[in-house]
Structure 1
Amino acid sequence: MEMLHKIAFIGLGNMGHPMCTHLARNGFSVSGYDISPEALSRLKQIGGTPCTSIAEAVHDADYVISMVPTGRHVREVYEGAEGVLKHARPGAMLIDCSTVDIESAKAVNAAAVAANFEMVDAPVSGAQPAAIAGRLIFMIGGTEEGYNRAIPPLKAMGHTFVHIGPAGCGQAMKICNNMMTGMSMVAISEVLTLAERLGLDHQTVYDVVTKGSGNCWALQAYCPVPGPVPTSPSSNDYAPGFSAEMMLKDMRLSQQAAASSSAATALAGAATAFYQMLVAGGHADRDFSIVYKLISGRLSSETLKKDVT
């Protein structure tokens, strides 16, 4: 296969690793950096080049792609003394796929522009299953030129690419999307709990609601009860496709954005409290759909000892 562009990928975790896998499969030369030795080892196994620093990874890359947990991490990756803006080659295209606060996305983009780099925020939807399948949806904030330049590597990892607007708009769209996902999972968990107590079978509820007006992604593709969707985390003891801790982070981002824009989001606030209870109860690393077990009473109150205020 003809070698395409050189990619430096920063952040090789549950999302970053499968994204790198698809880049490598599509002919890109992938170098990567992560603080985890295990993550670097996995990169080598798929034909990538593990690096000992961000500087080493990015020095000759055509594209720098990042997938890290928070806005603080994004700012450190790009603006830090050993970061991308000081060590990437001139003309490299910068793509941040993390989900972070809008203010951090705008600040990093402004720093990139000041350093003569083109940058977009390009958070994703679909969670780990879509990353593994190469079917991610990218919500892209930045200039039209940045959007067009970002598309070639994104095509290796996803199937839908939407230019949302200027810098920060990709993050705004992602926050709204995940707010809906978090609320939907709580809502369908309440529905399934009520249905069970009314004597209805989970499979029957799934079959009917997915064909009716109550259908939603949280039920159809990510059903929180084991059985109806064999590929959903609930059918694998809630092994994380997207952890409760990460959903809590995103729901908090939604509440931060709502507060800053004077938007009323009472339902999202209530949903946020459920994910806070999960994390406080020791379930941070399990899939966020385990909120069903909390709502249905299947998680013992003994696991919820910590202060959740």
Structure 2
Amino acid sequence: MGLGGAGWRSVGSKAHRWGCLRLRGFSSAALPPHMESVGFIGLGNMGSHMARNLINAGYRVSVHDVNENAMKKFSDDGIPTKRSPLEVSESSDVVITMLPSSAHVLDVYSGANGLLGNGGRLGPWLYIDSSTVDPQTSRKISMDISRCRLKEKKGYAEKPMMLDAPVSGGVPAAEAGTLTFMVGGLEEAYVAAKPLLLAMGKKLIYCGGAGNGSAAKICNNMAMAISMLGVSEAFALGQNLGIKASTLTDIFNCSSARCWSSDTYNPVPGVLEGVPSSRNYDGGFTSKLMAKDLDLAMASASGVGYKCPMGSGALNIYQKLCEEGCDAKDFSCAFRHYYTGKDEK
């Protein structure tokens, strides 16, 4: 069932109107035949927007998620929904996964009714995992896929390939289609996947072989966690010294302390509009996920015999936040809950 085709129109006038409005002039006829059909698994805060942007760009998308409500939002708009990862793979040229953890990724790829559950003969020629996982998980799945065969040759591909392509930018960038992708895997697969990735993001960075995208991502998130805690601590000190956070923000943002946590994602309520700190730390990137990513970073560091005292300290803080009931709050809630316990502009 192709976008703009008879099948798309037959699902009802609402879906047809939505398709006409959202495609914004793109045509699936311009897409390479071996990339027209995309399966998307994982329709959470990030994945739902990423899948929508692929639809906007003219790809023929089918989706799957364990959350029935998440799938209903797509089926209501006429987007095909599948009952399992294996069912997704049977109707796709490319499969993209966006999942919460390494365990979820392993289950979706290798579990019962998983993507690789077709006896080693695969329909999709390219698998892209945009989840934040440890490099070892990415390399294992990439190796598993390399041992499989294609049911039939697609485009230039003679065997299935995988890219680990985690993202940066958060929910706002996922919605706007301005994500940054950090990509590991075969360079030929990366080059072929560029148009697909640019339908969801604005910057692509090739990091090298399998697992290197995942390694880059956990390093990025460790730095982000540490900088958020540093900025929060400085704002809390400023409050205690009688300086308003809005004043200190102006100083930071034109001085050497300027960073993403001060100028784009400020943790003090009321300083910036549209960020989680200004809506009671709801939405955004949860403390639970930050703790998970820091744990991945520390485990990877241990695996290569490297000590990360600041990363370890950040992990302890976010684990404490989760234990104290902030697991579903945005990770910038560390300012209020850990450092001050009060809000001030």
TM bracket, shorter-chain basis:
over 0.9
Report matched runs for 1:77-88 at 5 Å: 77-87=108-118
The answer to which of 104-113 and 150-159 deviates more is: 150-159
Task: Measure how far apart 1:91 and its partner are.
Answer: 4.7
Q: Quick one: which of 261, 265, 272 aligns to 1:229?
A: 272
Partner SS state of residue 258, structure 1? helix
Asked if the contact 2:276–2:332 (Cα under 8 Å) also holds between the matched residues in 1, the reply is yes
Given candidates 181, 184, 203, the residue that maps to 1:141 is: 184
- Counterpart of 2:341 in structure 1 is 298
Q: Which residue of 2 aligns with 1:195?
A: 238
Supply the AA of the counterpart residue of 2:116: L
Q: Secondary structure at the match of 1:212?
A: coil
CA deviations 1:232-254 (Å, max 9, x no partner) are 11011111210000000001111
Structure-2 residue corresponding to 1:218: 261
How many Å separate the matches in 1 of 2:79 and 2:266? 34
Q: Which TM-score applies when normalising by structure 1?
A: 0.93
Shift of 1:218: 1.2
Which of structure 1's runs of 4+ aligned residues deviate more than 4 A?
none
Residue of structure 1 aligned with 2:50, choices 4, 19, 28? 19
**Count of aligned positions:** 299
Which stretch shows the higher mean deviation, 67-76 or 180-189? 67-76
Structure 2 residue aligned with 1:90: 123
- State the secondary structure of the residue aligned to 1:163: strand
Structure 2 unmatched runs, 5+: 1-25, 150-159
Cα deviation, 1:142-171, whole Å, max 9, x if unaligned, reads: 011111122122111100101101000000
Matched, 1:284 2:327: yes
TM superposition score normalised by structure 2: 0.84
Correspondence for 2:174 among 102, 127, 131: 131
1:2 maps onto 2:35 in alignment: no
Choose the corresponding residue for 2:292, options 243, 249, 273.
Answer: 249
Task: State the match for 1:302 in structure 2.
Answer: none
8 Å Cα contact 1:61-1:89 kept in structure 2: no
Q: Secondary structure at the match of 1:99?
A: coil
Partner of 1:266: 309
| Contact 2:92/2:124 (8 A) holds in 1 | no
Instruction: Return the alpha-carbon distance in structure 2 between the equivalents of residues 196 and 42 of structure 1.
Output: 44
Partner of 1:32: 63
Q: 254-263 or 37-46, which moves further after superposition? A: 37-46
> % of aligned pairs identical?
37
CA distance in 2, matches of 1:35, 1:52: 8
Aligned pairs for 1:153-164 within 5 A? 153-164=196-207
Q: C-alpha displacement at 1:206, in angstroms?
A: 0.7
Identify which of 65, 68, 71 aligns with 2:99: 68
2:132 counterpart of 1:99: yes
SS of equivalent residue, structure 2 residue 340: coil
Moved more, 282-291 or 70-79: 70-79
Q: Is the 8 A contact 2:283 2:329 kept in 1?
A: yes
Using the TM superposition, give the Cα deviation of residue 297 of structure 1 relative to its aligned residue in structure 2, in angstroms.
3.2
Query: How many Å separate the matches in 1 of 2:76 and 2:255?
Result: 45
**Structure whose alpha-carbon radius of gyration is higher:** 2
Secondary structure at 2:326 match in 1 = coil
RMSD after superposition: 1.4
SS of equivalent residue, structure 2 residue 204: strand
Write the distance in 1 (CA, Å) between the matches of 2:128 and 2:74.
Answer: 19
Deviation (angstroms), 1:130:
1.0
Is contact 1:240-1:288 (8 Å) kept? no
Give the Cα separation in 2 of the matches to 1:267 and 1:274: 11
Residues in 1 aligned to 2:297 and 2:249: alpha-carbon distance in whole angstroms? 29
Q: What is the aligned partner in structure 2 of residue 303 from structure 1?
A: none
Shift of 1:47: 4.3
Paired residues of 1:193 and 1:295 also in contact (CA < 8 A): no
